[in-house]
Amino acid sequence: MNKKRYFGLCSIALAMGLISCGTASQKGNNTSDSSKVAITVSDWGSYEGNPVYLYHLNNGHGTRMAISNYGGTITSWRFPDRNADTSEIIIGFDSLSGYLAHPPYFGALIGRYANRIAKGKFALDGKNYQLAVNDGNNHLHGGIKGFDKVLWQVEVPDSNKTTLILHYTSKDGEEGYPGNLQVTVKYELTDDNQLHIIYDATTDKATPVNLTNHSYFNLSGDLARTILDEQLTIHAPGYSPVEDQIPTGMPVSVVGTPFDFNTATAIGARISQVPGGYDHNWALDTTHGAKEPVATLFDSISGRQLDVYTTQPGLQFYSGNFLDGSITARGHAVIKYDGLALETQHFPDSPNEPKFPNTILRPGEHYHEETTYALSIKR
């Protein structure tokens, strides 16, 4: 059956209260979770008069996730610790209302341009563009209504597999960006507890593109514990010093600085040496392509380990510096350092820095980037 037609039929069934069209019958295979049902779909409210759905993924090997068509948001990500106790490893909400209150991008897909563009300005092919200034003096994460605040069209190619394909068309002029941008994002949860995220895009006019996911991790599974004791490794020779959160030039060496995570280091060990905390771009060691992890996060108490693989040249490590207790997630007031983001990306402000890796997509070209978050238990 045509995939778009399949989704359309599912949508009709959902609207009629028949929410089983995305549900797999139990498979007779040997898994660690005998209750495996690959994908189920539930009604999750409405946004701008349109239905919002939550897609529940269960790989039968320990990982359960929920992803919404609102913002392409990962709302829940559950994985057992070394004692087989399963809990949330990301910050999120159980209801749509939490996301409609515009928290700081919890779990969302980010675009058209992840991270910051200085003063929301860039020039392209002799024309000047002004984007929304929504983060102090700068443009952040696609503007006032970025990809995190739109409804994505979702395909369920096979309800017996834990794969979702999301589509969105960003129209010419949306948030000030040129060109009609066709975006596809594939979420694929594997049997070995890896989440592959594959980003693809094409355009009919030259435009900046930089896509990522903005999940906030706390591998302890307990927001009463901050991420300061978690061990982080980032394989990167350089990082980007910033002024007003904008890179001041080319990346500089991490050697001898609190930005050197080439060996596993507790996040809190040197954070006091970084005014405001970590919110910087690391220029990754990409000599191995996407075959070796660019970053590893480890929580010694739970035993959970997260390895990050990517084709992207940069990684934004954000230590949750601006979480101030004003947001309550699953009964917990989220405070500073309760979660961290590892956002694979191109460098901030690249449209204004010709020496940075290119972020301009042109007609006839194909944007393609991949990121994998791999979970495991370290005994």
Alpha-carbon span 257 to 100, nearest angstrom: 39
Full 3-state SS string of 142-203: CCCCCHHHCECEEECCCCCCCEEEEEEEECCCHHHCCCCEEEEEEEEECCCCEEEEEEEEEE
pLDDT in tens, 15-25: 333 333 433 33
How much is the pLDDT for 286? 80
- Confidence at residue 287, expressed as pLDDT on a 0 to 100 scale: 77
- Give backbone dihedrals phi and psi of 72, rounded to 5 degrees, phi first: 55, 35
Domains of the chain by start residue, with CATH: 3-377 (2.70.98.10)
Which sign does the torsion angle of CA 75, 79, 81, 83 carry? Answer: positive
Contact predicate 340/216, CB 8 Å: yes
Catalytic positions are 214, 343
Report yes or no on whether pTM surpasses 0.75. Answer: yes
Estimate to the nearest angstrom the gap between the alpha carbon of 139 and the chain centroid.
18
At residue 35, the pLDDT reads 60
What stretches in the chain show pLDDT beneath 50? 1-32, 34
Q: Measured between alpha carbons, how far is 250 from 265 in angstroms, rounded to an integer?
A: 25
CA dihedral sign, ordered 164, 22, 108, 333 = negative
β-pair partners for 187 = 164, 197
Instruction: Write down the pLDDT at residue 23.
Output: 35
Is residue 296 left, alpha or beta, with left meaning phi > 0 and alpha meaning psi from -120 to 50? beta
